[in-house]
Amino acid sequence: MDNRPIGIFDSGIGGLTVFKEIRALLPNEDLIYFGDTARVPYGSKSVQVIRNFSSEIAAFLSLQNVKMLVIACNTASALALSSLRTETSLPVIGVIDPGVRAAVKIAGDGPVGVIGTRATIKSGAYQDRIIRLRCNLKVLARACPLLVPIVEENLMNSDIARMALNMYLSDFKKQEVSSLILACTHYPLLKTLINEYFEGKTRLIDSACETACEVKEVLHARRINSCATSAGRETFFVSDSPEAFSEIATDFLGRPIAGECFLHSWQSEN
């Protein structure tokens, strides 16, 4: 048994979708969340910069004595998962493989749509993994760079959000995709509008629930799950704008964040 916290990080607030599912599935685990709000979005940055950011955050979380790292960011999962696994002895879990497995399981005859940041789509991580599991499945992918800023600015129910979704999703609607992978942890915060756009006819897949299940499985397999019987503690770190983060987090989680949210003293060298 291991009562150390689980470390979860994202480029901003989107990783709260993963945080929420982990909390629901593992109520007794202590959780530390890091949102890199000073440098969001990651999707428009180079591969090396994303790897550097991820490495810095992983090092910071390691100093918090975490027992596991969860990359709650599709872009970082696509581009930095392998490098992080070589840099630390901690188990490191990304969000792509759990999401792909869920998508392939329910895909039917397809086609399957994938929307994500420029870096995620350009990496081909989702497309390659889907084809590897089902070589005859048609995959349509598109980068949607405006969606992360819309979520970060708390504009999820705005006309701007609706116009952006119409611009990005019209081709998917015309081609009648059977399912759509939300390949960015920010996008589930737009799930209501996306479902409304497709009139409920397209299955929406986000990897948060599947990732939480994988976290639980790894904890048990390594025998590092908490033996605590009380509710787990929650601590939130952000690299900028803690007030804005706290407001959106409270709205999304449906409760005031239970831990401490503040601008920590760690400063990037980049």
Q: Catalytic residue numbers?
A: 73, 184
Largest CA distance in the chain: 51
Residues pairing with 70 in the sheet? 8, 93
Q: Is the peptide bond before 111 cis (omega within 30 degrees of 0)?
A: yes
The Cα–Cα gap between 44 and 209 comes to 26
> φ, ψ for residue 255 (rounded to 5)?
-165, 155
User: Which residues are CB-neighbours of 132 under 8 A, at least 6 positions away?
Assistant: none
DSSP letters along 58-81, please?
HHHHHHTT-SEEEE--HHHHHHHH
Q: E-assigned strands of 48-193?
A: 68-71, 92-93, 112-116, 139-143, 179-183
Which strand ranges, in their side-by-side order, compose the sheet holding 92-93? 92-93, 68-71, 6-10, 31-35, 234-238, 261-263
Q: Closest Cα partner for 150 from 246, 32, 40, 68?
A: 40
- How far is CA 73 from each of CA 114, 181, 187, 203, 220, rounded to the nearest angstrom? 15, 14, 11, 21, 23
